[in-house]
Amino acid sequence: MTTLTPTQARVNLSALLSRALKGEDIGILHQGKIIALRQVNVTSTDYVEAEYGLSTEEWGRVTSKLHEKGKKARATGKAKRFTGNIEDALHG
């Protein structure tokens, strides 16, 4: 394992990230402990749980309600198609 100080890691961060993506063990020494730099897989459910504190079941209810609101907006003509121009979406 390659072990570096935070200062060394900061200077070479892009290269270290590339090496970690290739599977190399990289560690950064902080307060006498080694913190590993490695790729992790994150799913949307991981994100909503960590960011918003929602369980998988709660997130399912939220998405169902959002889809229903979208259907109603499209049916009543209140939904607008996004053309890719943010200014048109905000002011149009």
Q: How many domains does the chain have?
A: 2
Same domain (yes/no): 9, 24: yes
- Say whether both 28 and 55 belong to one domain: no
> Is residue 84, in this structure, part of any structural domain at all?
no
Domain that holds residue 75: 44-79
The predicted pLDDT at position 92 comes to 63
Average predicted confidence (pLDDT) for the chain? 88
Q: How far apart are CA 51 and CA 62, in angstroms?
A: 15
Note the pLDDT tens digit of each residue in 36-76.
998 888 777 678 888 888 888 898 899 899 889 888 888 88
Q: Give the relative orientation of helices 56-76 and 44-52 as an angle to the nearest 10 degrees.
A: 100
pLDDT for residue 80 is more than 80 = no
Question: What distance, in Å, lies between the first and last C-alpha atoms of the chain?
Answer: 55
Residue 8 lies in a domain: yes
Residue 89 lies in a domain: no
